[in-house]
A and B are shown apart, each in its own frame.
Chain A
Amino acid sequence: MTMSFKGKPSRRAFLKGAVAAGGTLASASVAKAEADPLITEVQDWASYTGDGVDATPYGLPIEYEADVVRRNVEWLTADTISSINFTPIHALDGTITPQGCAFERHHSGAIELRKEDYRLMINGLVDTPLIFTYEDLERFPRENHVYFCECAANTGMEWAGAQLNGAQFTHGMIHNMEYSGVSLRTLLEEAGLDVAGDLKDKWVYVEGADASSNGRSIPMEKALDDVLVAFKANGEALRMEHGYPVRLVVPGWEGNMWVKWLRRIEVTDQAIESREETSKYTDTLEDGTSRKWTWVMDAKSVVTSPSPQSPIKHGKGPLVVTGLAWSGRGSITGVDVSLDGGMTWQEARLAAPGTDKALTRFYLDINWNGEEMFLQSRARDSSGYVQPTKAQLRDVRGLNSIYHNNCIQTWWVKSNGEAENVEVS
């Protein structure tokens, strides 16, 4: 094609170049500069034609965005089959996460399961154990909801200290999508819950069709509240890596419970206490006892830009500080931002009012004086919860919890615009 520019410089080289070029640009605005050839000369794209409508039946981002991708941390897990990667939240805006870069967590790899081969079983303490096909699910009344899905281990590597240098790696085990599906309540009622008797001490055990057979116990009250059996996300079919053709959506609760390739729902009179709800996803405290059933993801936020992977390249002056906030206990009611490491705070602007168990985008538009900042954000939710500092969390939980780290994050933004993950006093 006509546009042959492929030479994307590395981020670090680009940053160095931008800092150097910054001086040139600044002086250019003072002295009379040479005219910009991008304007004065006819460019290829303004002269030749581009791609036809048949060139890309299903589009990917343009090649210049090739660095906005999921990344994994090799040393975290023994291999990539049972592992996790991270959403590039530092490079996204708005609140909806595109499926193609939304983080993945598999316990035995992402499987290919055709709709035609899909079966969903409901068994256990139900009046009639049932089998549904994918087509059956499409015939139940449908709902649409936007929810965040956060892995309980998000920010888990940061318990003992500042470790990973980038919002993608510290906070990228999260995505936020609009789901279409059937309420779990509808399916349970179709099977009938009379035989289960008193529902207050009953559970549903949900399990996936992949080789890990990931299974979790969910209390009946939650199952009948807002849990969705979803088959579309952001308007299109779920991606394979997110559980195609059907996954569970458990709003506000840890991502491990959002069972992918959902194949079975069993009504039980006790928690199964599977591996993922005993040996994993439990929170060990300083005295060696561990919390279990810590399903709710507490209020949390992070500045996504500027951040280590998204440095300031334009020098001092107008600067958009932006980030994400969310709470599993309800909606975000406000976000405060500190530029000085938590000595003083100012209220950020929410791009839209917070909604139930979904990501909220916040902005703080400042005139940066070019001096170093210790950027922090602090989420508040509709339950009255205020996101704690890491020190506050450690006071209660110690250093060994691994999961559910919702502490306030600090980015040290230096005068050259680079940012680093730090802990501050």
Chain B
Amino acid sequence: MSKFLNLVAGTALASTLIAAPALAEKYGLGRPALEEEVAAWDLDVAPDGTGLPEGSGNAYDGEEIFADYCGVCHGDFAEGVDNWPKLAGGADTLDHDDPLKTVGSYWPYLSTTFDYVRRSMPFGSAQTLSNDEVYAIVAYILFSNDLIDDEFELSKETFFDVEMPNAEGFILDDRTTSEAHFWTDTPCMEGCKDKVEITMRAAVLDVTPDEE
């Protein structure tokens, strides 16, 4: 089994693997990164807010910015267009068939939304928004999910005033315990079941692309 599962569980560590770097040989390759270079690329924002920039924005201002940059795919109300992601709605659907996973219903950390909008959006012109615009867009997405009002000024100071509904909705990979019965040295080879009947056919659904 994965050694890392032990690490996550806080038990034994593979200490030999972890200990060696102090003795590592260096090759003298590469050059030191300059501060402004690191600043240009190191944009990620962590769940505890590390990396959040100065700036602020609210949903009132964000509505127009969202319509300009995001609405074509995500809809003016963050409801999604065609197959593009829906960013709002879906509250209390996670235990239903086909749950609707949105920023409001699913995303556990607000940092993820800010980080993603700032680094990866808008689709086709990423990293063109100002930090104030990103704050405003994130505020509008939160507003669309009824998580803040339209005057709430989102900034690094107010960031953790926002409660993400599904913050407690995640557990760490537990397959080695919840699926421990898949580890069996003696899989059935004969008489494993009495009969076999077809319960579903792909041809009936007919959604496979044609090869021609």
In the assembled complex, the CB of A324 is this many whole angstroms from the nearest CB of chain B, namely 19
CB-based contact A222/B4 at 8 Å? yes
Given contacts A10-B212, A275-B112, A343-B192, contact A215 B38 (CB under 8 A): no
* A268 CB–B CB distance under 8 Å: yes
* B98 CB–A CB distance under 8 Å: yes
CB-based contact A289/B185 at 8 Å? no
In the assembled complex, the CB of A90 is this many whole angstroms from the nearest CB of chain B, namely 11
CB-based contact A340/B196 at 8 Å? yes
Q: How large is the interface on A (under 10, 10 to 19, 20 to 34, 35 or more residues)?
A: 35 or more
Which residues in chain A, 221-276, are within 8 Å of chain B measured between CB atoms? 221-222, 224-225, 263-264, 266, 268, 270-275
Q: Which of A274, A345, A425 contacts B189 (CB 8 A)?
A: A345
Q: Which residues of B contact A205 (CB under 8 A)?
A: 44
* A3 CB–B CB distance under 8 Å: no
Which residues in chain B, 78-122, are within 8 Å of chain A measured between CB atoms? 82-84, 94-95, 97-99, 101, 103, 106-109, 111-112, 115-116, 119-120
Q: Which residues of B contact A123 (CB under 8 A)?
A: 33, 38, 41-42
* B8 CB–A CB distance under 8 Å: yes
- The residue in A221, A224, A296 that gathers the most chain B C-beta atoms within 10 A of its C-beta is A221
Which residues in chain A, 118-137, are within 8 Å of chain B measured between CB atoms? 121-124, 128-133, 136
CB-based contact B205/A163 at 8 Å? yes
**How many angstroms between the C-alpha atoms of A43 and B99 in the bound complex?**
62
Q: Which of B21, B123, B198 contacts A189 (CB 8 A)?
A: B21
Q: Which residues of A contact B169 (CB under 8 A)?
A: 288-290
Given contacts A199-B21, A211-B126, contact A78 B106 (CB under 8 A): no
- Which chain B residue shows the least CB distance to A133? B30
CB-based contact A284/B30 at 8 Å? no
CB-based contact B111/A273 at 8 Å? yes
In the assembled complex, the CB of B77 is this many whole angstroms from the nearest CB of chain A, namely 18
Q: Which of A72, A131, A166, A221 contacts B33 (CB 8 A)?
A: A131
Q: Which of B97, B189, B200 contacts A162 (CB 8 A)?
A: B200
Chain B 196-212, CB within 8 Å of chain A: the 1/0 string?
11111111010111011
CB-based contact A294/B38 at 8 Å? no
Given contacts A78-B83, A108-B123, contact A294 B175 (CB under 8 A): yes
* A75 CB–B CB distance under 8 Å: yes
Chain A 331-352, CB within 8 Å of chain B: the 1/0 string?
0000010001111111000000
CB-based contact A71/B14 at 8 Å? no
**How many angstroms between the C-alpha atoms of A340 and B212 in the bound complex?**
32
Q: Which of A75, A400, A422 contacts B99 (CB 8 A)?
A: A400
In the assembled complex, the CB of A147 is this many whole angstroms from the nearest CB of chain B, namely 16
Q: Which residues of A contact B30 (CB under 8 A)?
A: 122, 130-133, 136, 190-191
Which residues in chain A, 42-76, are within 8 Å of chain B measured between CB atoms? 67, 71-75
Q: Which residues of B contact A368 (CB under 8 A)?
A: none
- The residue in B21, B42, B173, B202 that gathers the most chain A C-beta atoms within 10 A of its C-beta is B202
**How many angstroms between the C-alpha atoms of A275 and B107 in the bound complex?**
8
Q: Report the count of interface residues on B (CB-CB < 8 A).
A: 93
Q: Which residues of B contact A140 (CB under 8 A)?
A: 27, 29
CB-based contact A11/B107 at 8 Å? no
CB-based contact B46/A272 at 8 Å? yes
CB-based contact B196/A380 at 8 Å? no
CB-based contact A273/B46 at 8 Å? yes
Q: Which of A82, A131, A165, A425 contacts B31 (CB 8 A)?
A: A131
Chain B 173-206, CB within 8 Å of chain A: the 1/0 string?
1110011001111011111111111111111010
Q: Which residues of B contact A225 (CB under 8 A)?
A: 17
CB-based contact A77/B21 at 8 Å? no
**How many angstroms between the C-alpha atoms of A123 and B39 in the bound complex?**
10
CB-based contact A219/B33 at 8 Å? no
Given contacts A121-B33, A275-B115, A290-B169, contact A385 B201 (CB under 8 A): no
Q: Which of A193, A200, A343 contacts B21 (CB 8 A)?
A: A193
**How many angstroms between the C-alpha atoms of A222 and B3 in the bound complex?**
9
In the assembled complex, the CB of A288 is this many whole angstroms from the nearest CB of chain B, namely 3
In the assembled complex, the CB of B39 is this many whole angstroms from the nearest CB of chain A, namely 10
**How many angstroms between the C-alpha atoms of A323 and B38 in the bound complex?**
47
Given contacts A108-B123, A132-B30, A396-B179, contact A293 B173 (CB under 8 A): yes
Can you show 28 pairs from A to B with CB atoms below 8 A apart? Answer: A82-B123, A121-B37, A122-B30, A129-B32, A131-B33, A140-B29, A169-B208, A194-B21, A194-B22, A200-B7, A205-B44, A212-B120, A213-B120, A224-B17, A225-B17, A264-B41, A273-B108, A274-B116, A278-B108, A278-B112, A279-B101, A290-B106, A294-B175, A295-B4, A295-B173, A374-B196, A422-B200, A423-B198
A169-B209, A270-B46 are known contacts; what are 7 more A-B pairs with Cβ within 8 Å? A164-B207, A272-B115, A282-B170, A384-B184, A422-B199, A424-B196, A425-B198
Q: List 5 A-B pairs, minimum CB-CB distance, nearest first.
A: A288-B95, A341-B196, A189-B24, A288-B94, A78-B83
